[in-house]
Amino acid sequence: MSGIFPLEWLYWSISWLLLSWHSLWDSILPDGRFLGTDWSWILAIIFLVITIRILVFPLFVKQIKSQRAMQALQPKVKELQTKYKHDRQEMQKQLMELYRKEKANPLMGCLPILLQSPVFIGLLHVLRRVHPGNTQKTLYGWSADQFDSFLDSRLFNAPIWSSFRTAADQLTSVGSSQVTVKIVASVLIATMVFTTYMTSRQMILKTGWAEDRQQKMMQRLMLYGIPATLLISGVMFPLGVVLYWVISNGFSLGQQMWVLRKYPPPKMATSGGKTTGKPGSKAAEKARVEAESRQKELAPKPGARPANPKKGGTRKGAGK
Total structural domains within the chain: 1
Average pLDDT over residues 293-298: 54
314 inside domain: no
61 versus 16: which is more confidently predicted? Answer: 16
Which residues lie closer than 8 Å to 174 by C-beta, 6 or more apart?
132, 151, 152, 159
Least confident among 123-127, 148-152, 217-221: 217-221
pLDDT at 7 over 90: no
171 versus 267: which is more confidently predicted? Answer: 171
- Which domain range does residue 242 map to? 8-287
305 inside domain: no
Which of 134, 166, 169, 164 is CA-nearest to residue 150?
Answer: 134
**Burial code of 11-31, b = ≥16 C-beta within 10 A, e = fewer?**
bbbbbebbbebbeebbeeeee
Residue 227 exposure: Cα atoms within 13 Å on the Cβ side? 18
- pLDDT number for residue 305: 56
Which residues lie closer than 8 Å to 224 by C-beta, 6 or more apart?
197
286 versus 100: which is more confidently predicted? Answer: 100
146 inside domain: yes
**d(C-alpha 160, C-alpha 152), whole Å:** 8
**Burial code of 86-121, b = ≥16 C-beta within 10 A, e = fewer?**
eeeeebeebbeeebeeeebbbebbebbbeebeebbe
223 inside domain: yes
Which of 102, 71, 110, 78 is CA-nearest to residue 281?
Answer: 71
- pLDDT number for residue 316: 46
- pLDDT number for residue 309: 47
CA-only gyration radius of the chain, Å: 28
317 inside domain: no
- Hey, which bits of the chain come out as E strands? 33-34, 37-38, 154-155, 158-159
pLDDT at 247 over 70: yes
- pLDDT number for residue 211: 65
312 inside domain: no
319 inside domain: no
- pLDDT number for residue 75: 81
pLDDT at 105 over 50: yes
Average pLDDT over residues 240-252: 93
Confidence of residue 199 (pLDDT cuts 50, 70, 90): confident
- pLDDT number for residue 58: 81
94 inside domain: yes
87 versus 113: which is more confidently predicted? Answer: 87
- pLDDT number for residue 315: 47
Q: What is the pTM of this model?
A: 0.73
225 versus 318: which is more confidently predicted? Answer: 225
Average pLDDT over residues 69-91: 81
The answer to whether the beta carbons of residues 131 and 170 sit under 8 Å apart is yes
2 versus 292: which is more confidently predicted? Answer: 292
Helix (H, G, I), strand (E, B) or coil at 311: coil
Average pLDDT over residues 216-220: 80
